[in-house]
Structure 1
Amino acid sequence: MPEQPSDLVAVANELYGLPLGEFVPTRNTRAKQARKDGDTDLAWAIQGLAKPSLAAWLANIMVRHMADEIGQVLDLGETLRQAQNDLDASQLRELGQQRRRLLSAVVEKGRDLADDLGQQISSGVADQTAESLQAAMADEQAAAALRTGLLVQPMASSGLESVDLDGVVAVPEAVGDRSPARPKKGGRKKSAEKDKEAERRAAVERAEAALADAERQARRAERERGKHEEKVAKLEARALQLRSEIDELRRRLVDQEHALMSTEDRLEAAEDARDSAVAAAEEADDAVADVRRELDRLTSGP
């Protein structure tokens, strides 16, 4: 059916712009409607549209809601590719720094956008989306794939060859011709200078790939550092609290020791007073006994 690709792209544009939880029920509804309209081929094609991964979904909504920022990313990618072709090392270093800053800011804004739409994005998913944007910067066809807003899976670039787009875009026809441009034929062989230039370009591409990998590792290391710093801060606070409690217990122990010493002194004085009282009581009892005996003697006489 000749109109099917266009109709399918229209349905896909709707589906891949929805909140992630609405994708499957809406897809089923659209497929059911196509069958009801008698277009079974379109219905099967709609039913075959895969639900995007979370990282791909984030890239898709960024394309729809952050057109200016995505445009900046792709424009910078075009400039980077031109600098690679020109083998401008100083410009590549400067553009590489711009790329890192821009990707970080754009992806962070994308996470805020997803949060507004009720979808939490983890750091790992954000990294996958950043890799998709970086792939779009490195490869023109990957940039075209990103612009469709129909990603099913995130993209990745090694920096050494074209990005593999198989299974990445829900409707490949939306990207257009993805065949790589063929090199122009010439009657002359490449000169030694051309070979050297090609080697330098390959070296630059390898360095770019190594830089991209190092950046990913740096982001992961930064997240780990943040986790450990947070744990250290909590443990430091707990240690400070325990030290304060121990100091308070020590002060209380000193006070109790002083109170014990005072009580023991008072106890010793009380014991001495008690012993004196006991001795006096015994003497008094003896005196009473003597008086009674004398009284008995006096009263018992003639």
Structure 2
Amino acid sequence: MGSEELIAVAGELYALVPGEFVAARNERAARIKTDGDAELARAVKALPKPAAAAWLANTMVRHLSEQLDQVLELGEAMREAQEDLDAAQLRDLNRQRRQLVAAVVREGRKVAARLGQKVSEAAAEQTAATLQAAMADAGAANALRTGLLVEPMAAVGMDPVELAGVLAVPEALGEQAPRAPRGTAPRAARRAGKEDAAAALRAEIARAQEETQAAERSAATAERELRSAEDQAHRLEARALQLRSEVEELRRRLDEREHTLAGVEDRLDEAAEARQDAAVAHVEAQAAVEEARGKLERLRRK
């Protein structure tokens, strides 16, 4: 079995969302076994499902490669420059580095949301720790670049990051291009390179700070607009509730009036009939009066 085949299969599987991983892995292992490569099938079947923080880091490798490259380049520059920086500068740079990592993790959570995945605060913190470890240690940086993490990483002081159990396919580290060895250039050239790296690092972090501040200002503006929209919505909801209440009251009163009108109309029909009967009786009475007067007049003439 060649590690290249296993790395290729793992690359496809670890690009999936967590809910799809196990079924896809088992289906792929079964297909490989059917094709006659039992050893590769066993290796694929043994690939572990990544922890949430590891999945987010792998996803960022695939979807935020440019931002991650900037983070890792900053880490490399800091490793080069830290020998010539004093403690205050290092504290300031580390603070700014944490801000940059937090901003990139926020972008990663947005990518996860677009993929239908909700990332907990704990997983986001572990992913941030993973990026911090990759900035602090070249081996961890190479591990992150594989996109095959199954567990998050963490840096402990200045010690190399422990990578045992971190990668799905440890042989994938061999796919990463090695960094140029240190110590081969003249001392003056090395010092100049460190000074250049420190200057580049400070400039890059300053730009990252500006971008973070601009994003925070935009977020604050969006939050104000959201609150304004929510206030307007609440006012309109209250007005709509009031109008609904008034409409219901008007409907109730209309029902009462319609009921009253129906009664009046019934009585009006009865009154109309009575009036008709009275009119007939009146005509008959008038005729009787005329007849009586005529009779009386005839009697008087006699």
> CA–CA distance in 2 between the matches of 1:143 and 1:124?
21
Task: Say which SS state the counterpart of residue 170 (structure 1) adopts.
Answer: coil
Paired residue for 2:142? 144
Matched-pair contact (CA < 8 Å) for 1:138–1:159: no
> CA–CA distance in 2 between the matches of 1:148 and 1:55?
15
Paired residue for 2:6? 8
Q: 2:77 aligns with which of 76, 79, 90?
A: 79
Paired residue for 2:205? none
Paired residue for 1:154? 152
Amino acid at match of 1:162: P
- Identity score, percent: 57
Q: Give the 5 Å matches for 1:39-78.
A: 39-78=37-76
Q: 1:23 aligns with which of 21, 24, 29?
A: 21
Task: Say which SS state the counterpart of residue 150 (structure 1) adopts.
Answer: coil
Q: Cα deviation per residue 1:84-142 (whole Å; 9 max; x = unaligned)?
A: 23344454234223312211110011111111111111111100000000000000000
> CA–CA distance in 1 between the matches of 2:99 and 2:14?
28
> CA–CA distance in 2 between the matches of 1:84 and 1:175?
26
Amino acid at match of 1:125: A
Task: Say which SS state the counterpart of residue 174 (structure 2) adopts.
Answer: coil
Paired residue for 2:282? none
Shift of 1:177: 9.0
> CA–CA distance in 2 between the matches of 1:151 and 1:53?
8
Q: Give the 5 Å matches for 1:216-231.
A: none
> CA–CA distance in 2 between the matches of 1:72 and 1:183?
21
Paired residue for 2:166? 168
Q: 1:121 aligns with which of 119, 133, 158?
A: 119
Paired residue for 1:276? none
Task: Say which SS state the counterpart of residue 100 (structure 2) adopts.
Answer: helix
Q: Give the 5 Å matches for 1:170-185.
A: 170-176=168-174
Shift of 1:183: 10
> CA–CA distance in 1 between the matches of 2:28 and 2:87?
51
> CA–CA distance in 1 between the matches of 2:39 and 2:108?
35
- Give the number of aligned pairs: 182
Q: Cα deviation per residue 1:254-299 (whole Å; 9 max; x = unaligned)?
A: xxxxxxxxxxxxxxxxxxxxxxxxxxxxxxxxxxxxxxxxxxxxxx
> CA–CA distance in 2 between the matches of 1:91 and 1:14?
42
> CA–CA distance in 2 between the matches of 1:88 and 1:176?
35
Task: Say which SS state the counterpart of residue 176 (structure 1) adopts.
Answer: helix
> CA–CA distance in 2 between the matches of 1:62 and 1:177?
19
Paired residue for 1:34? 32
CA RMSD of aligned residues (A): 2.4
Shift of 1:19: 0.9
> CA–CA distance in 1 between the matches of 2:66 and 2:114?
19
What TM-score do the two structures reach when normalised by structure 2? 0.57
Paired residue for 2:129? 131
Matched-pair contact (CA < 8 Å) for 1:31–1:43: yes
> CA–CA distance in 1 between the matches of 2:13 and 2:142?
19
Which has the bigger relative contact order, CA under 8 A and spacing at least 6? Answer: 2
Matched-pair contact (CA < 8 Å) for 1:148–1:175: yes
User: Which segments of 5 or more consecutive residues in structure 1 lack a partner in the other structure?
Assistant: 185-302
Amino acid at match of 1:158: V
Amino acid at match of 1:161: D
Matched-pair contact (CA < 8 Å) for 1:28–1:47: yes
Shift of 1:69: 0.8
Matched-pair contact (CA < 8 Å) for 1:83–1:92: no
User: Which segments of 5 or more consecutive residues in structure 2 lack a partner in the other structure?
Assistant: 184-302
> CA–CA distance in 1 between the matches of 2:91 and 2:31?
53
What TM-score do the two structures reach when normalised by structure 1? 0.57
